[in-house]
Amino acid sequence: MSKLLPSAEGSLLLVGGKLVPGGAGVFATMNPASGEVLGQAANGDAGDMDAAIAAARSAFDDTGWSRDHAFRAACLRQLRDALRDNIEELRELTIAEVGAPRMLTSGPQLEGPIGDLGYFADLAENYTWETDLGVASPMGIKSGRTLRREAVGVVGAITPWNFPHQINFAKLGPALAAGATVVLKPAPDTPWCAALIGKVIAEQTDIPAGVVNIVTSADHALGAQLAGDPRVDMVSFTGSTATGKAVMATAATTLKKVFLELGGKSAFIVLDDADIAAASSYAGFSVCVHAGQGCALTTRLLVPRASYDDAVAAAAKAMAGIKPGDPAEGGTVCGPLISERQRDRVERYLEIAQAEGGTIVTGGGRPDRPGWFVEPTLISGLSNTATAAQEEIFGPVLVVIPHDGDDDAVRLANESPYGLSGAVWGTDPERIDHVVRGVRTGTLGVNGGIWYAADAPFGGYKQSGIGRELGVAGFEEYTETKLVATAE
């Protein structure tokens, strides 16, 4: 038996420093590439969540965790190193439970976010926790002012299934570095990925009891319990916009701080001076990565009207060449969708697209293999207001839309409730800059530029969220600002 992987009886919760079974028993975690049961995960209940919140509250209020910056940095590096020691077991689990292509586990699906813990350890040590604002005399009272940053308190972290390690650590890393304590509620589709973090924390690090608590559960109501509990000072949520609105409404009952990273329908803008075939091929390839299950993937391809047919042909050729495959194989780009439910959802969008006048140029079917796969699918003939061009599908689906020049491309890109990501391809720097400045979105890649990094803040405009994750801005989400004025 592996020293890390769950036993036949299932994984365990981490509550108050102890690995414990779930109060509601267990539930199945599935392999999306085969449709078969992988094993059992601890099914936490409301009592488990209550105990986890209490443990996090006590660890914050009654220990020196929030004030010992050097100790927190050491613990984060210790966690990073322990995870690296177990990297191959984590890799195989991630491929099996998430359906993540093996190639991505050397980057954002596993090794990248583990390495990013080192960035937040460094930040905990080197951040300017106090700033001298000098002396002023408001109302004639001479006062020396000091600006302090302090940990926000107890953080409720609610995470999705598509990039579980990346998103779990994008919350745990900065929250722990800032001195917060955390209750993590991961998605029911990927409980083992989170449970194994808890096992490593409990058995291989010096992180004090209660600082990190992990409650896996099939019950989505536990997320609402976490968001509404008055002992929780902040909710950090990544997921759909619809659920984010519910989280925000629940959190408002106790007026707690909220970070939301939500949906996207990002535009890939190709200007008329770009290499149309190369840009369109790139757009077709990128939407197939991890079966299109990424909130920041570009799912609308906006191309010059005069080059529309050429763009469709180039994107279709690229997508037709990407065959859905076993995520355990090194060359697989497009693996399975996470669940049968998600596959059905993607297929309903394809039906709607055709009913609204769209044409499926390539793909649209199910490969002849077990598991929850959908072929990479290109749709032409739709307007920018069509359902498939406005709503987040979360599958390997690309809609091609014509534009009538740079300003029209900006208008179309912004004609969306979302503003998470995007791309611009062209050759004239001034025109590119004009488009970049016009698109209301949180991140943009120019000519293939990659914006993802530990030190780079990520988040969206409009209904794509509130706040930023990663970077100094993401770290500061987990802090409060205190001004101290001392009469002199």
Coil, strand, or helix at residue 252?
helix
Q: In this structure, how many other beta carbons lie within 10 angstroms of the beta carbon of residue 348?
A: 12
Which residues make Cβ contacts (< 8 Å) with residue 445, sequence separation at least 6?
421, 422, 423, 424, 451
- The CA-based dihedral angle spanning residues 92, 202, 45, 211, taken in that order and rounded to the nearest 10 degrees: -120
Query: For residues 290 and 434, is the Cβ–Cβ distance under 8 A?
Result: no
Cα–Cα distance between 374 and 391 in angstroms, integer?
Answer: 18
Using alpha carbons only, what angle is made at residue 150 by residues 149 and 151, rounded to the nearest 5 degrees? 135
The catalytic position among 111, 261, 375, 477 is 261
**Which helix (DSSP H) or strand (DSSP E) does residue 474 occupy?**
helix 471-476
3-state SS, one letter per residue, for 53-100: HHHHHHHHHHCCHHHCHHHHHHHHHHHHHHHHHCHHHHHHHHHHHHCC
Burial of 1 per CB tally in 10 Å (0-12, 13-18, 19+)? exposed
89 catalytic, yes or no? no
Q: Are strands 130-136 and 266-270 parallel, antiparallel or unpaired?
A: unpaired
Region of 159 on the Ramachandran plot (φ > 0 left; ψ -120 to 50 alpha; else beta): beta
- The CA-based dihedral angle spanning residues 43, 152, 108, 105, taken in that order and rounded to the nearest 10 degrees: -40
Which residues make Cβ contacts (< 8 Å) with residue 309, sequence separation at least 6?
none
Catalytic residues: 261
